């Protein structure tokens, strides 16, 4: 059973509406469903955080929406952007959207700039493809772009190669390129993962600032809840190709329903905890996407899991707070959830004991 558009009643047409998006890859091991029935919508000027562990499909989701998939992938579902069905467009038609309407900031600034091309050339390229600016005007625009992402001495940078800049500077250049043609929607695919912690905050602030100034919509992809916490209007938590919980940011943190989200929150280190205190880990591994379990995909690792969870996929249902959806039979913070956990603790289910004591004794899974 998959969540479909009808199960996910989101009001109003946004800048971007995705419904029942499914992306599959043909691999030697069989068909891998990397994105499995994802629906979401995004308004102008809003930021959506996309969180999940490695391999949960968050990067594939953003590339699917942009139409930047390798030839081995197949994509079904509807993607509507400003009233246009992007999923029906081919590469040639998409080219007028790429860079101009939708654009992407990549993860690793070491590899997302061409090592043998000067910075200036790399910024000018999209301007030349998409605008009619003459040489001088394009150069002027490039300088202004670099200035807007706070790169000092922009004129000098234009003549430099990527290896002459630091990681943080390079990521600023990558952002400048992504914003060059004034896109309405930007995907930031783990934009700070490859950077040092001190530079991370600056880059996130920069993205924030640019988004507000340009009134863009942004999808901020991260494996780190801490990164998206203060900077998003809404957070979608992904697990094994599905959205398992989606809510306005404050609601998600105060009214967690899905046990996976709870486990992620517990895994974030906290300053108020004593130093050297153990972090809570989530035992086991995510399921094989070539043959996912029939029931809830988190069930094998879940402290709350009951018999039903292993056989029946829970649908995405709305919580008390409007706009908060989750996928769970025994949600956290409800009587059903509390009873399920107590039953598991009494039965000495290892994940449940780990969740209560904070100690993982047996590898689940």
Partner 1 sequence: MPEADDLDLEAAHRGSINPVSTLEPTDTAQVVEHEPLTMRQQRARLGIGGKLAIAWLAFVTLAAVLAPVLPLDDPNQSVTSIVRQGPGTDGHLLGGDALGRDILSRMVWGGRASLLLAFSSVLLGLVVGGMFGLVAGYLRGRTDRVLTVGFDTLLSFPQIILAVTLVTVFASQQGTSTTRRMVVLILSLGVVSIPVLARITRANTLMWSEREFVQAARAMGARTTSIMVREVLPNVLPAMFSIALLGVAVVIVAEGGLSILGVGVLLPTPSWGNVLAEGRADLRAAPHIVLIPTVVIFLTVLSLNYLGDIVRARFDVRESAL
Give the footprint of partner 1 on this chain (CB under 8 A). 66, 68, 71, 95-100, 103-104, 106-108, 110-117, 125-126, 129-130, 150, 152, 160, 163-169, 174, 177-178, 180-181, 194-196, 198-199, 202
Nearer to partner 1, 63 or 257 (CB): 63
> Distance between CA atoms of 261 and 248, rounded to whole angstroms?
14
Nearer to partner 1, 92 or 320 (CB): 92
Tokens 């790429």 locate to 98
Shortest distance (Å) from residue 98 CB to partner 1 = 4
Instruction: Say which residues have a Cβ less than 8 Å from residue 261's Cβ, sequence separation at least 6.
Output: 237, 244, 245, 252, 326, 332
Burial class (CB in 10 A: 0-12, 13-18, 19+), 181: middle
Shortest distance (Å) from residue 285 CB to partner 1 = 25
Instruction: Say which residues have a Cβ less than 8 Å from residue 148's Cβ, sequence separation at least 6.
Output: 176, 179, 210
Shortest distance (Å) from residue 146 CB to partner 1 = 13
Task: Let me know: does 308 contact 296? Beta carbons within 8 Å.
Answer: no
Shortest distance (Å) from residue 225 CB to partner 1 = 23
Residue 189, classed as helix, strand or coil, is strand
CB atoms within 10 A of CB 85: 11
Four-point Cα dihedral 16, 21, 27, 32, nearest 10: 130
Shortest distance (Å) from residue 343 CB to partner 1 = 47
Nearer to partner 1, 167 or 248 (CB): 167
> Distance between CA atoms of 192 and 249, rounded to whole angstroms?
20
Nearer to partner 1, 73 or 345 (CB): 73
> Distance between CA atoms of 41 and 306, rounded to whole angstroms?
32
Nearer to partner 1, 74 or 111 (CB): 111
Tokens 């994105």 locate to 35
Nearer to partner 1, 125 or 318 (CB): 125
Nearer to partner 1, 162 or 295 (CB): 162
Shortest distance (Å) from residue 26 CB to partner 1 = 12
> Distance between CA atoms of 364 and 282, rounded to whole angstroms?
9
Shortest distance (Å) from residue 322 CB to partner 1 = 34
């Amino acid at each position: 059973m998959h969540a479909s558009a009808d199960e996910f009643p989101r009001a109003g047409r946004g800048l971007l509406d995705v419904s029942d998006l499914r992306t599959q890859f043909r691999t030697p091991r069989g068909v891998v469903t990397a994105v499995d029935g994802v629906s979401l919508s995004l308004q102008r000027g809003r930021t959506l955080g996309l969180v999940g562990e490695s391999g949960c499909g968050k990067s594939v989701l953003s590339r699917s929406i942009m139409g930047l998939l390798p030839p081995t992938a197949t994509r079904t579902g509807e993607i509507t952007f400003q009233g246009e069905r992007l999923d029906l467009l081919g590469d040639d038609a998409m080219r007028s959207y790429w860079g101009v309407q939708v654009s992407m900031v990549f993860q690793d600034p070491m590899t997302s700039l061409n090592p043998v091309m000067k910075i200036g050339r790399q910024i000018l390229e999209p301007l030349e493809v998409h605008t009619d600016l003459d040489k001088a005007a394009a150069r002027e625009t490039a300088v202004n772009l670099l200035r807007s992402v706070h790169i000092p001495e922009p004129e000098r940078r234009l003549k430099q190669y990527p290896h002459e800049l630091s990681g943080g500077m390079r990521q600023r250049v990558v952002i400048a390129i992504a914003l060059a043609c004034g896109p309405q929607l930007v995907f930031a695919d783990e934009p700070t993962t490859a950077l040092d912690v001190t530079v991370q905050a600056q880059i996130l602030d920069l993205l924030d600032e640019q988004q507000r100034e340009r009134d863009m919509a942004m999808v901020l992809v991260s494996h780190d809840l801490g990164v998206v916490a203060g900077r998003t209007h809404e957070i979608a938590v992904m697990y094994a190709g599905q959205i398992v919980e989606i809510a306005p940011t404050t609601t998600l943190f105060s009214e967690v329903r899905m046990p996976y989200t709870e486990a992620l929150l517990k895994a974030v280190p906290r300053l108020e905890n004593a130093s050297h205190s153990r972090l809570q880990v989530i035992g086991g591994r995510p399921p094989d996407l070539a043959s996912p379990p029939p029931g809830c995909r988190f069930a094998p690792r879940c402290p709350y899991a009951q018999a039903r969870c292993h056989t029946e996929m829970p649908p995405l249902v709305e919580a008390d707070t409007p706009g908060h959806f989750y996928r769970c039979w025994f949600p956290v913070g409800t009587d059903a959830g509390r009873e399920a956990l107590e039953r598991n603790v009494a039965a000495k289910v290892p994940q449940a004991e780990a969740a209560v004591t904070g100690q993982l004794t047996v590898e689940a899974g």
